Amino acid sequence: MGEKVVAGQFDLSDRNRYRDKLKRCLQGLERLLEEKRFDRPKNLMGLEIELNLVGSDGTPKMLNAQVLERIASRDFQTELAMFNLEVNIAPHRLGGRVFDRLAEEVTTSLAYAHRKAGEVDAGIAMIGILPTLDRDDLVSSNLSDVDRYTLLNDQIVAARGEDFTLDIEGVEHLRCTSKSIAPEAACTSVQLHLQVTPGRFADVWNAAQAASAAQIAMGANSPFLFGRELWRESRPPLFQQSTDTRPPELQAQGVRPRTWFGERWISSAYDLFEENLRYFPALLPICDDEDPLDALDKGGVPKLAELVLHNGTVYRWNRPVYDIADGVPHLRVENRVLPAGPSVVDVVANAAFYYGLVRALAEESRPVWTRLPFEAAAANFDAACRYGIDARLTWPRRGRHSGTAEVDAVSLVRDELLPLAESGLTAWGVEPADRDLYLGVIEERCRRRVNGASWQVATFHQALEQGLGRDAALAATTREYCRLMHLGEPVHTWPVGLPQPVPTG
């Protein structure tokens, strides 16, 4: 959420006041849009990566406070659980050799954090879901010692009124319950930010929604949870279920989950902020002293603090962001689709594919969202999460043909989306060498049909065939993953399997 909040109890008057402030914030946003007060185009992108702390045995280490104290950098901060960290990379202007610079910065930051974690016998793992997590690791006592996480947990638990049910049926079936939102902490992701003008926001958001299935198909990296092999990208169903404030009765009535893909293409950024107020009750009714409309009347720029806080408790896979930099408001699309990892090169390749593809899709003369039903885009997202690089997706037919067709994700990306991403990066002014290097990583994943999830699954099953038990195979797979991650080569080059026979004792 990005806000420092103080744990406490809320009464009815707090909620009524907060609801009123939210409405005034929404009116303030509407005025800012009407008065064209937003920043001009700057072609700025940003990157956040959530990380896991692991021991030499591959299991999680609940040491983020100690590691952060040693890192002593504002670029790193806590995340939900004690085995999580997040690194924030400063905004970059899209163009030139931006992705090489990004790779260098992320590599340097992670190497530094890994060294500091080593001082307490831990290390950094960049992966969607840590395969060695156990249910006992994801309990409320392991939440980070930060007021906003405690408060968020308390409010979501109170809103639900009963235990959370995790029920994910994939290759295997996982069904269990949790008394807290702690299982959400298993989901570690990459968040890609793109600053956009209000006039371009809807096109960019719609493009990002359409692109999300291809992102997942290429980048899936979360096939295991609690010892079960589930979806190739198990984060989305896990995140939705572990933050679901709806008991079964409200689910049956069609009440929307707080983690969702959405239900329609939009025509304005306002649409998303307004939906968030209309559909989702406040979880953290904390009011700021500022009156946003008074601030506007005096010629100032309102913080819209309540709107920003509420927006941070609605977990869209492509989220609208309102922010202020150097006294000027701006809007961003925050893409939350991708898991962390496997390597820095893979993360940067995923970013290059996204920024190029979204630019090209947003500027097409016949935009994809005018030819693809929103329900098909949502179904694509689910299919990509379930099947990863082997998914089949629905996409508009090429050329003059109308309608849609089902196509292999690999074929769609290789034949249609990679050329679009290439033209998009060229339009951003990215140098050909940078563009070709990182899009080449995506192309190789297509050619070899390999991503992080497929490597994890193949290596795990080979370990089982060598005679290891399930827990030992998951731990060995995790250790080998971490070793290769830190070597820095892209996952499509990783050899499947463990480096040498592992004793079964």
Task: Give per-residue pLDDT as tens, 115-139.
Answer: 999 999 999 999 999 999 999 999 9
* Chain centroid to CA 207: 16
- Using an 8 Å Cβ cutoff, are 203 and 331 in contact? no
CA separation for the pair 408, 42 (Å, rounded): 36
Identify any residues that bridge with 168 across adjacent strands, giving them in sequence order: 174
What does the pLDDT look like over 326-379, one tens digit per residue?
999 999 999 999 999 999 999 999 999 999 999 999 999 999 999 999 999 999
> Is the confidence at residue 262, as pLDDT, over 50?
yes
Q: Give me the pLDDT at residue 4, please.
A: 46
Q: Band the pLDDT of 500: cuts 50, 70, 90.
A: confident
Q: Is 159 exposed, middle or buried (0-12, 13-18, 19+ CB in 10 A)?
A: middle
Yes or no: say if 221 and 341 are a contact pair by the CB < 8 Å rule: yes
Distance CA 270, CA 307 (A): 12
110 against 400, higher pLDDT: 110
- Within a 10 A sphere around the Cβ of 13, how many other Cβ atoms? 9
What amino acid occupies position 241? Q
Q: How confident is the model at residue 1 (pLDDT cuts 50, 70, 90)?
A: very low
- DSSP per-residue codes, 250-302: HHHTTPPPSEE--SS--SSHHHHHHHHHHH---S--PPPS--HHHHHHTT---
C-alpha Rg value of the chain to the nearest Å? 22
Q: What pLDDT shows up at residue 501? A: 60
Q: With a threshold of 0.85, does the pTM exceed it?
A: yes
Kindly indicate the confidence band of residue 502, based on its pLDDT and cuts at 50, 70 and 90. Answer: low
Residue 148, pLDDT > 90, answer no
Backbone angles phi, psi at 198, to 5 degrees: -55, -35
For helices 432-448 and 198-219, give the axis angle rounded to 10 degrees. Answer: 40
478's tokens: 């995790």
CA atoms within 13 A on the CB side of 453: 31
Beta bridge partners of 78: 85
E strand or H helix at 50: strand 44-54
Considering only CA atoms, which of 425, 344, 270 is closest in space to residue 47? 344
CB 83 within 8 A of CB 55: no
Q: What percent of the chain has pLDDT over 70?
A: 97
Whether the pLDDT of residue 47 is over 60: the answer is yes
Query: Cβ distance 223 to 456 under 8 Å?
Result: yes
Phi/psi at 59 (5° precision): -95, 160
Say yes or no to pLDDT of 221 above 80: yes
- Tokens coding 472: 């030992």
